Each structure stands twice: as structure tokens, then as C-alpha cells.
Amino acid sequence: MQNTPNTPLFEAVADATCRALQEAEVHLPADVLRALQRAEEREPNPVARSELRNILRNVELAEELRLPLCQDTGVPVLYVSLPPDVPLSERLYAALAEGVRRATERVPLRPNVVDPLTRENRGDNTGPGMPSVHLRPGERFAITALPKGAGSENVSRIGMLLPSEREEIERFVVETVLRAGGRPCPPLVLGVGIGGTFDGSAALAKEALLSPIDTMTGLERRLCEAVNALGIGPMGLGGETTALAVKVRQADCHTASLPVAVNVQCWACRRATVEVRR
Amino acid sequence: MRELTTPLGDEVLDLRAGDRITLSGIVYTARDEAHRRMLERGIPFDPRGAAVYHCGPLVRDGRVLAAGPTTSARMNAFTAFLLDRGVRALIGKGGMGGEVVEHLRGRGVYLAFTGGCAVLAASRMALEGVYWEDLGMAEAIWILRLDRLPLVVGIDARGTDLFASVMERARGCARL
């Protein structure tokens, strides 16, 4: 496998992965930028407003200078939409990893990925299980990068609630934010996964971060209001903007289960999708 | 908005938690490893009136490219000696523990910079030098000259901790 020459498909996948990561690291998606601008206009607390202004100015500067908008460039999480004519193979995973290596060099990304126990850093943001790859069938061949920083990932939580505790979902979400305080760099975007299995709910929570944040369903809005009632504000300095949005994804589950996962995301809700050029 | 310049003196005692200020002049970056070594070998810069920034910057070709704040609470246990030697301001994100609030009383302040705003921070800085570069880029002590970096007073010299009071209120109003 090591000696296999890189096929045009391998090159195309590696290139698209690298571009998706670059795009995600440097530009904040338009919906997230709009949500921050709206928050800055509405925020009555002067300290919170000045924090939001710093964030908006930082986003502009990152774009102008083509630099990552936060020094924690995260770990690479990739969502790949795979059309029927592309074979699912080890080479595909190798090409995605190659794209991560190139992005680490070119963007540049901070080498964040280490062995979990020895803490050894290979220096290129790849290793067993990294990048984290999620595949799904699709018409387009596209790669979405969602680089995930540690500050917000570390305060994310999963709970196995009882089926009778549907009302407890809001409490679980609010409690997660309360425990986190200013540590995950609010204003936050919360991805909430409801249902599925233990592992599936966490995947749903992260996938929820892929949807645009400038619209919310009734449930999402209720959860967002409950979180903002805490007054933690940007960076934990107080204010009305603790969360920019809450996004929910759900799946059916066992009749005896109610898994709920909250994936916490900092203000830098980075994601970008790039089509593979074949 | 108050404009402060290092070295800092008694003017920091008048600041109140929640005040927005700008800071100019020299600051020194220090994270976990630099704190540990300063405890063992002494402080390599003049600590009197100094400001210490909890930050591991990205430096390339003599320029600071990214210099966002790191989580200050990691340095809770090794901060007292800096204040004892005359350091007047700590800069970082997320606030610091109750013991640091007490050490700051009557002496200095904790200043918060916006988490993740690494490019904005770097745009207000020039690199002046480095101590202990062998600790690596993130952990070395970089000497930075600030040009009006916008900051919020998180903990003042009277023992008011904005982070703690925000969280206390949040716990009180949580609809749990």
C-alpha cells in the first residue's frame, strides 16, 4: 500500500481535504458571522459588547491576513459525502490523512494530535483514528471540515436519561453550560443529539453543529433562551449572549433509553465544505 | 476608557472589575513551564510593575502572528511569587482561583483578553526578545511590546472577581 503511486483520485481527495481545512480555519461561515453581528447589535452589556467587537475585528483580520482565526486550530473532523461510483477503501482514508498533513504544513495548523497515553506528538495531526472521518452516501463527492478545539470539546457531555425524563433535557443542557462557565470561550453554539445509541447521540450532537445557526426550531429556541438566561455572557464576563444558537439532531432509540449529548462549540464555529475535483 | 502603560504602579489599585482599559508597553508571556522554571531559577526580567501574559504565541521570522490568551486557571498554584516580587498585572482568559484573588488584593489586577482572538492580539504587538527559548515556542517567555491592547478588568485589587460573581448569579438564576 505504501508504494502504491498516488492516483488522480487520491490527489483530488487530499487536495479537497486540505482546502476544506484551510477554508474552515481562516473564514468564519456567513451564518455564524451574522449571528455574532446580530448579538453585538442587541447586547446591552457594555463589557459583553466590547468582547463581541473584539471577536468581529479578529475575524476580519484573520481573513485579511489569511491566518487561522484562533491559535487552537483544533483536531480534524471530516464529513465525507461519497457518491456511488467512488470505492470505499483504505486508500480513501489515506488520502484524507494526506490532506490533513498538507493542511498542517500549509495553513499552518498547530500540531494538536497526540497519542492519548504517551502524549507523543507525531507533528502532523494524523494518527490512529485521526482524522475523525464520518462517511455517508451522497450524490456530490464533497468533504466538510469541522476542526474542533479542545476548550469547548472538553466541557461537552453525554447523559443516559430515563425515557420518562424528557423534561430533563433542558436541565441537562443548561447544567452543561453552567458547569463550563467561561472556559469554552462563549458565545457558544451548542450541538445537541437526542436519541440513537450511547455513541450515536454524541455523533448527532457534533453533526448538529454542521447546520446553519441563523434559524432555530421551537425546541432549539427554547433551549437557547434557557441558556442565555444564565447571563454568563461572552468569555464568562457577563451579558445576554451566552449562546448564539442551539442546534438539535435526533434519532430513534430503544424504548428503555433516552441518550442526550451536548457538544459544546466556542464562538469560532468553523466549518467548510469543498467539492472533490475529479 | 483608561489607557495604561507598563511598568504599572499604584494606578492599578483604582481599577474596578468590569472596567475596560487598554494596555501599552512591555509584557512577558508565561505558561506552565515558564512559571515552573521561574520558581526554580528566578525571574529573568525585572518583575517590578510588570505584566505577565498567559499566552503561547505563534512566532515566525521575528514576528508574532497569533497570540491569543490561554486558560489562566492552570497557573493558579504558581502565581503568588510573581505578585510577591512586584508583578502588577496578570493577563489571560477565564479568570483565576480564589487564592489568586487574595494575592492580588491591594497589589494588582487580573486583566481578561478575548479568547480565540489571536490575530487581533498579534496586530497590537511587536516582538522585542525572548527568554528561555529552549522551552519551545509556546512555553518560552516572549517579550512583547503592546500598542493599546483592549482588556477588561476581571479581578480588581479590592477582591472583586467578575468571573466569580457572574457564575454565582448564573447558578442562582438557572431554571433547574
Query: Of B108, B124, B125, B126, nearest to B50 (Cα)?
Result: B108
What number is the ipTM of this complex? 0.94
**Cα(B151)–Cα(B53) distance, rounded to whole angstroms?**
12
Task: Say which of A65, A183, A231 has its CB closest to residue B166.
Answer: A231
| C-alpha A248: how far from chain center | 14
Q: List C-alpha distances in Å: A263 to A5, A196, B94.
A: 39, 15, 20
Residue B39 to chain A, least CA–CA distance (Å): 25
Say yes or no: A243 contacts chain B, CB-CB below 8 A.
no
Q: Sort residue A125 into left (φ over 0), alpha (ψ -120 to 50) or beta.
A: left
**Cα(B38)–Cα(B81) distance, rounded to whole angstroms?**
9
**Cα(A258)–Cα(A250) distance, rounded to whole angstroms?**
11
Residue A138 to chain B, least CA–CA distance (Å): 34
Confidence of residue B60 (pLDDT cuts 50, 70, 90): confident
The count of CB pairs under 8 A between chains A and B is: 127
Q: Say whether B170 and A232 touch across the interface (CB within 8 A).
A: yes
**Cα(A229)–Cα(A220) distance, rounded to whole angstroms?**
14
pTM: 0.95
C-alpha cell at B57: 504565541
CB burial class (10 A; 0-12, 13-18, 19+) of residue A113? buried
Per-residue pLDDT, A1: 47
Say yes or no: A267 contacts chain B, CB-CB below 8 A.
yes
Q: Say whether A236 and B163 touch across the interface (CB within 8 A).
A: yes
3-state secondary structure of A1: coil
The predicted-structure confidence for A111-121, as pLDDT tens digits, reads as follows 999 999 999 99
Q: Say whether B116 and A266 touch across the interface (CB within 8 A).
A: yes
**Cα(B152)–Cα(B154) distance, rounded to whole angstroms?**
6
Q: Which residues of B touch A231 (CB under 8 A)?
A: 166, 169-170, 173
**Cα(A152)–Cα(A264) distance, rounded to whole angstroms?**
5
**Cα(A105)–Cα(A94) distance, rounded to whole angstroms?**
17
The predicted-structure confidence for A98-144, as pLDDT tens digits, reads as follows 999 999 999 999 999 999 999 999 999 999 999 999 999 999 999 99
The predicted-structure confidence for A181-237, as pLDDT tens digits, reads as follows 999 999 999 999 999 999 999 999 999 999 999 999 999 999 999 999 999 999 999
Task: Say which of A46, A67, A226 has its CB closest to residue B119.
Answer: A67
| Catalytic choice (B17, B23, B31, B35) | B35
Residue B54 appears among annotated catalytic residues = no
Q: List C-alpha distances in Å: B75 to A94, B45, B90.
A: 40, 18, 10
In a mutational test of the B interface, the residue from A237, A241, A265, A266 whose CB has the highest number of chain B CBs within 10 Å is A237
Residue B45 to chain A, least CA–CA distance (Å): 26
CB burial class (10 A; 0-12, 13-18, 19+) of residue B125? buried
